[in-house]
Amino acid sequence: MENPRYQRQTSLKEFGEAGQIRLNNAKVLVIGAGGLGCPALQYLAGAGVGTIGIVDNDRVALSNLHRQVLYSTDDIGLSKALRAADILSALNPEIDIIPFNESLSTTNAQHIISQFDIILDGTDNFASRYLINDACVLAGKPLVYGAISRFEGQVAVFNWATNNGRSSNYRDVFPNPPAEDEILNCEEAGVIGTLPGMIGTMMANEAIKLIAQIGVPLINRLMTYNSLNNQMYDLEVQPQAGSHSLIPANFAAFEAKDYELMCSSQSATQIDPDRFEEMLQDPSFSVIDVRELNETPVINEFNYLSLPLSSFEKSVNQIKENKIVIFCKSGKRSLNAARILASHYGNSKKIYSLKGGILAWKDHKEV
C-alpha cells in the first residue's frame, strides 16, 4: 500500500515506488550538522532515507541560527547531533536516526563510515575534508561534497565510478591543502544565510539521485553557484595520476596520519578557550587582537593591544613581551600574524594563537 507521506515523489514516473524502496533501504551519513548539514538532513529525512547518521561534536550557538534553521534559540548550548536527531525523528518517525556526538577522526572514521552507503561532507575546514575524502576512498564509499564561502558554493560527487570505470576524488581537484591561515572559513569570511540552504539541499538532491538511480548526478563534476548573480557552472574532474599516492595506502597508515598537522601553520601553538582564560590572568603575556578596527564582537572583558593584520608587519616592534597570545575572529588571521612574528623573532618569543578565535571563546563562556 502506498505511503501517503511520500505520495508527491512516488507519483513521479521517474521515481515511483521503486525509487522510494531504494530510499527506505539506504543508509546515508551526514558529517557536520551545521550550515550544509541542516538542510541536507531535513530533506533526506523528509524523503524517507531509511537510516541517517549524524556526526558532529559541536553545540548550537547563537551565531549559527541565521543559517542553521534546523535549530531554535531554545537549542543554544545543546549538542547539534543529539538535537538534530530529535528534531528529525519528530519530522519522520518512520526512519532510523543515529547520532554520533563526536568529531570524525582517524581512529573512528573506518568504524563509522563502514556502516553507511553514501557519505555527505558538510564540514567547514580542510583537515576534515581531506580526512573524509581519504577515508571514503579507502572504504570505497561515494562522497557528496559541499562547500560555501561568502556568496559562493560548490557541490560534487566523488568516488563513484562511471561506466568507463573512472572515479575522481577530492584530491583530484585539490591535491594538497592550503596552509591553515591562507583561506578563511565561514566564521572569518562570512556567509549569506540562504547559501548553505541552497547548497545543502543540492547535496541532499545528489544523494537522492544516486540512491533512486534517477537523473544525472554530479559524478566527476564540480558545480559552482554564485548567489549574487545566480550564475552556475560545472567543471569536469579528471582522475589525476598522482592523486592516489597522496592518500594513505590502507587504514593503518590512515590512522597514523595527522590531518590537523597537515593543514596547520607551525608558527604558533594553538590554545583552547580554557588555556586562553589562564593566559589572560598572567601579566607576563601580551594579548593581541589582529582584527580590523570596528570588527565585532566588541571585547570588553579583558585588556589587549589592537594591531590589525592589514598593518601588522609594520607594528611588530610595538610588541615588547616575550610571551604573546594572538586572537582574531575565528583563528585564521591570528595564525597568519603568528607566522609574521616568527619570521621576525624566530624562537626568541613564545607565540600562541587562540584556536577558533574570539567567537569560540565567547561561545565557551555562554555554555
What's the CATH code of the domain at 300? 3.40.250.10
Alpha helix positions (H), the chain? 7-10, 16-25, 37-47, 80-91, 109-113, 126-139, 170-173, 186-189, 194-212, 251-256, 259-262, 273-280, 312-315, 332-345, 357-366
C-alpha cell at 212: 533512486
Percentage of the residues of the chain whose pLDDT score is greater than 70? 95
Q: In this structure, are 179 and 252 located in the same domain?
A: yes
Q: Which of 38, 136, 186, 263 is catalytic?
A: 186
Q: What is the tens place of the pLDDT at every residue in 45-79?
A: 999 999 999 999 999 999 899 999 999 999 999 99
Q: In this structure, are 13 and 128 located in the same domain?
A: yes
Q: Kindly give, in sequence order, each residue whose CB lies less than 8 Å from that of residue 214, ignoring residues fewer than 6 positions away.
A: 14, 15, 19, 208
Where a domain ends, among 262, 284, 314?
A: 262
Q: What is the tens place of the pLDDT at every residue in 278-289?
A: 999 988 899 999
186 is catalytic: yes
Q: What is the CATH number of the domain that holds 244?
A: 3.40.50.720
Among the listed residues 340, 349, 286, the one whose alpha carbon sits nearest the alpha carbon of residue 314? 340
Q: In this structure, are 311 and 252 located in the same domain?
A: no
Residues 102/54, Cβ–Cβ less than 8 Å? no
C-alpha cell at 300: 570588553
Q: In this structure, are 145 and 33 located in the same domain?
A: yes
Q: What is the pTM of this model?
A: 0.75
Q: What is the tens place of the pLDDT at every residue in 163-203?
A: 777 789 999 998 887 755 566 666 667 889 999 999 999 99
Where a domain ends, among 246, 262, 278?
A: 262
Q: What is the tens place of the pLDDT at every residue in 19-28?
A: 999 999 999 9
pLDDT band at 320 (very low <50, low <70, confident <90, very high): confident
Residues 141/104, Cβ–Cβ less than 8 Å? no
Q: What would the 3-class secondary structure string for 228-256 be?
A: CCCEEEEEECCCCCCHHHHCCCCHHHHHH
Where a domain ends, among 262, 283, 302?
A: 262
Q: In this structure, are 49 and 165 located in the same domain?
A: yes
Selection from 133-142, 155-164, 236-245, 344-353 with the highest mean pLDDT: 133-142
Q: In this structure, are 42 and 127 located in the same domain?
A: yes
pLDDT band at 239 (very low <50, low <70, confident <90, very high): confident
Kindly write down the DSSP assignment for every residue of 122-182, as one continuous string.
---SHHHHHHHHHHHHHHT--EEEEEEEBTEEEEEEES---TT-----HHHH-SSPPPTTT
Among the listed residues 180, 194, 253, the one whose alpha carbon sits nearest the alpha carbon of residue 226? 194
136 is catalytic: no
Question: What is the count of structural domains for the chain?
Answer: 2
Residues 45/91, Cβ–Cβ less than 8 Å? yes
Q: Which of 38, 136, 263, 328 is catalytic?
A: 328
Q: In this structure, are 345 and 211 located in the same domain?
A: no
| Average pLDDT score, the chain | 90
